Amino acid sequence: MHPEMDASSSSGPDLEQIMTRYQSGDAAAAESLVDLLSGQLYFFFSSQMGSREEADDMLQEVWLRIHRVRHTYRPGEPVLAWVYAIARRVRIDNYRRRYRIARREVAADVLPEVRAGQGSSQELPSFAELVAPLPESQREVLTMLKVGGLSIEEVARATSSTAGSVKQKVHRAYDRLRRMLQDTALGRARRGERR
Amino acid sequence: MTCREVEGLIISYASGAAIPPEAVAHIAGCERCRRLTQVMKETPANAVPSVEQLQKIKTGMLTDLRPVKPLAPAGVLFVALMFILLVVGAVGGVALGIAGWQALGPPQRITVFTSLVAAAGLLAFSLVQQIVPGSRLRLPPYVLVVVLMGIIASFFAILFHPQAEPTFVSTGLVCLRIGLEGAIAAGLLSWLVLRRGAILNPMWTAATAGALAGLSGLTVLEIFCPNLNEYHILVWHLGAALVSAAAGLAIGTIAELSSGRRTRPIP
């Protein structure tokens, strides 16, 4: 996992301690929290929305909300589930805002933007490219698991659903990813044959 | 090992955990699982916020950084919400009289008030969970509200019987008004408790709070109103609770829609 995104190594007691210190007004703890979680939150937003500007705005908004409701974190509870529940809300609000703006604008026949690849020479598509075609709910759950390093239980808490429902979404997402990966491999093999 | 069984392990693997030998054997022999594992293990590389952006966020947070008192434990908030129900019921009883309580037979009394307190308890518990982000919600709030209202309606339908009532609408409207007054009082008091938390889903939190406040109004009516006509109770008494829940839902929807419009940048 990317070092700047890796909060899983500091999840559990460490992240909880930092959060508790942040609640008690420790400036260093606030900065540590921003450093530890911003990378994965940024990826969470950009993989859901695709635009860098929007991800920037949402990252700023999520920290503003975290700061405003920091007293609602209860020591001993999973920090990541708390953070991602807020991040998810920010994303929903942003989505609504975007939808409202889009409704007012004249619809243009533009195909959805395809994210830039990590280089065509790579054998496999990147995680972001791979999850882009998935339904939003599956992409969200998978991003929380993979990038955020949340457990199934934590994802269930963050999305206000049950662990069973999260498992089902993950299973469907994996099923789809397997098929997509197979298609990618087949397509590559066919191109190789033609050459 | 099947592909399905390997899925759970792929998640752990993606987070850096070791993968058991039997899963390794499966992955080695299964092309699809091998590719999936590889992708899940890969690092997403293109998502790093700029240093300036992080600095701006930190500066914004540090300018307003002061110690905060963590939210009261869930038990305290639960007791506070239930206390509001009791206070509104007691004040209603003192102000309006307890003719309804006296008109009920012991089985009706026990069933009506036990179901009201139990339903209020479940709604209060759900509210306490809803105002803390990342809480474990065992049942979606809308399911809870609908199911509880349905159960109460069923109990009332079983316990009471239709009676002739020439002034059905006029007496009913009086009860509806009293029920809604009780609900408004309980709703305002509950807001004082709920505003301490973080309301992430205003629509459902307000609907749940409205339902809880509505049950307070319903409790007042069951204590005060001696009318045992089944239709009167179902339409006007339970109606007060339903109107209160619907009002909560409407207020929450407005709050939810307006929250999407606001953007407050960090200075």
Q: pLDDT tens across A7-63, in order?
A: 444 455 588 899 999 999 999 999 999 999 998 898 888 876 667 788 888 999 999
Query: Per the structure block, which two tokens stand in for B239?
Result: 């109606």
- Give the mean pLDDT per block of 10 residues along chain B (267 residues): 71 62 78 72 66 89 89 94 94 92 92 95 95 88 94 94 90 95 96 92 94 96 94 95 96 83 48
Question: What does the alpha-carbon distance between residue A180 and residue B171 come to, in Å, rounded to a whole number?
Answer: 66
pLDDT at A5: 44
Q: What is the pTM of this model?
A: 0.81
pLDDT at B265: 45
A111 pLDDT band, cuts 50/70/90, is very low
Q: Is the pLDDT of residue A164 over 70?
A: yes
Query: Among partner residues B32, B44, B265, which is closest to A127 by beta-carbon distance?
Result: B44
Question: What does the alpha-carbon distance between residue B90 and residue A29 come to, in Å, rounded to a whole number?
Answer: 47
Q: Which candidate in B5, B26, B68, B130 is best for mutational testing of the A interface (most A CBs within 10 A)?
A: B68
Backbone angles phi, psi at A113, to 5 degrees: -65, 130
Paired residues of B161 in beta bridges: B229
| Chain A residues lying within 8 Å of B54, measured CB to CB | 34-35, 38
CB contact set of A18 (below 8 Å; sequence gap of 6+): A10, A29, A32, A33, A36
Q: Classify burial at A47, counting beta carbons within 10 Å of its beta carbon; exposed 0-12, middle 13-18, buried 19 or more.
A: buried
What are the CA-CA distances from residue B220 to residues A9, B80, B159 (Å)? 54, 18, 18
What are the CA-CA distances from residue B243 to residues B100, B141, B246 (Å)? 21, 17, 5
Q: Name the amino acid, one letter, at B59.
A: T
Cβ distance A71 to B69 less than 8 Å, yes or no, reads yes
Query: Per the structure block, which two tokens stand in for A21?
Result: 């210190």
Cα within 13 Å of Cα(B218), Cβ side? 32
CB contact set of B240 (below 8 Å; sequence gap of 6+): B175, B176, B178, B179, B180, B182, B183, B214, B217, B218, B221
DSSP 3-state of B161: strand
Cβ distance A47 to B44 less than 8 Å, yes or no, reads yes
Query: Among partner residues B31, B44, B71, which is closest to A72 by beta-carbon distance?
Result: B71
Nearest chain A Cα distance for residue B75, angstroms = 13
Nearest chain A Cα distance for residue B255, angstroms = 12
DSSP 3-state of A112: coil
Q: Name the amino acid, one letter, at B176.
A: L
pLDDT at A167: 87
Question: What does the alpha-carbon distance between residue B193 and residue B203 come to, in Å, rounded to a whole number?
Answer: 17
| Chain B residues lying within 8 Å of A177, measured CB to CB | 36, 39
Cβ distance A128 to B46 less than 8 Å, yes or no, reads yes
Quick one: which of B86, B75, B84, B81 has its CA closest to B113?
A: B86
Cβ distance A89 to B200 less than 8 Å, yes or no, reads yes
Q: Is the pLDDT of residue A122 over 60?
A: no
Nearest chain B Cα distance for residue A136, angstroms = 18
Give percent above pLDDT 90 in chain A. 24
Tell me which residue has tokens 């009167």.
B232
Q: Is the dihedral of CA B25, B28, B32, B36 positive or negative?
A: positive
> Complex ipTM above 0.90?
no
Query: Among partner residues B134, B197, B257, which is closest to A77 by beta-carbon distance?
Result: B134
| Chain B residues lying within 8 Å of A2, measured CB to CB | 43-45, 48
